[in-house]
Amino acid sequence: MLEMQGLRGGYGPAQVLNDVSLSVRAGEVTAILGRNGVGKTTLLRGLMGLLPRLSGRVTLAGEALAGLPTHRVARAGIGYVPEGRQIFPELTVTENLAVGQRSPSRLWPAERLFGLLPNLRERQRNAGRSLSGGEQQMLAIARALVTDPRVLLLDEPSQGLAPMVVQELARILRHLAGEGVAVLLVEQNLRLTETVADRIAIMARGTVVHDDTAAGFRAAEDELRHRWLTL
């Protein structure tokens, strides 16, 4: 669904991405692991058209995305759940959702959305700022879903969440993959990643150093963790 080939780029003179190639398939959760600063967040920002410099190829179902402005990338079918959730604090939950709906969502009408994310149903009139961390994360996901994305990018969604909420997050991500969404998950939380991912890639020094099925990752887990993930 989403194909990346030879992505290079960064901020100003600093090259953060150094030849990234990766495929994200529909109906699967693809996870990217890696230490801090290896370029995971930068990769997602690059896909969204938020990097000052990016070269290489990005295609969504064959359609070229690299170089498009951010709003065109979103309209092409990429949903973005950024690091730190970044909900609109002064807008209500309903208004937060409305920002992404240039027309009413076809795939995620209210009933279906609140079926998947029941906590939000009660809080529709509340300001984003008044939500708990877990509710804010659910809102960030809901807000991306109502743009009817074919690909969902999530940047460390488990950060700062209670274990119960992380379990809920895992359920939601599996459900979305089951519905045919291509999910690209950047995480540091190994347990969440192993629970939900179909494929696991590892990034180091701005490139993908390992890319395999979840089963393949588990088979070599000790060595991979030691080499690429632990400090």
Partner 1 sequence: MDPLALLTLQALNALSLSALLFFISLGLTLIFGIMRVVNFAHGALFMLGAYVGVTAHNASGSFLLSLVAAPLAAGLLGLAFERTALSRLYAREHSAFLLVTFGLALALTEAIRLLWGADARQAELPDALSGIVFVMDEPFPVYRLLLIGAGVLCGLGCWAGLQRTRLGLLLRAASQNPVMTAALGNDVGRVRAFVFALACALAALGGALAAPLLSASLGLGSNVIIDAFVIVMIGGMGSFLGTAAGSLLVGFAQTFGNYYLPELALGMTYVVMIAVLVLRPGGLFGRPE
Residues at the interface with partner 1 (CB under 8 A): 48, 50, 52, 69-71, 73-75, 80, 82, 86-91, 95, 98-100, 102, 143-144, 147
Strand arrangement, sheet containing 199-204? 78-81, 151-155, 182-186, 29-33, 199-204, 207-213
Give the list of residues 6+ apart from residue 160 with CB closer than 8 angstroms, or none. 133
Which residue, 88 or 114, has its beta carbon nearer to partner 1? 88
Cβ of residue 166: shortest distance to partner 1, in angstroms?
23
Cβ of residue 19: shortest distance to partner 1, in angstroms?
25
User: Cα(191)–Cα(205) distance, rounded to whole angstroms?
Assistant: 23
Which residue, 90 or 222, has its beta carbon nearer to partner 1? 90
CB 41 within 8 A of CB 186: yes
Question: In whole angstroms, how far apart are CA 52 and each of 48, 63, 199?
Answer: 11, 21, 29
Which residue, 34 or 100, has its beta carbon nearer to partner 1? 100
User: Cα(86)–Cα(139) distance, rounded to whole angstroms?
Assistant: 10
Give the list of residues 6+ apart from residue 55 with CB closer than 8 angstroms, or none. 6, 7, 8, 9, 66
Cβ of residue 70: shortest distance to partner 1, in angstroms?
4
Residue 231 CB coordination number (10 Å): 4
Which residue, 93 or 208, has its beta carbon nearer to partner 1? 93
Cβ of residue 52: shortest distance to partner 1, in angstroms?
8
Which residue, 88 or 228, has its beta carbon nearer to partner 1? 88
Cβ of residue 227: shortest distance to partner 1, in angstroms?
34
CB 198 within 8 A of CB 23: no
Cβ of residue 71: shortest distance to partner 1, in angstroms?
5
Which residue, 73 or 170, has its beta carbon nearer to partner 1? 73
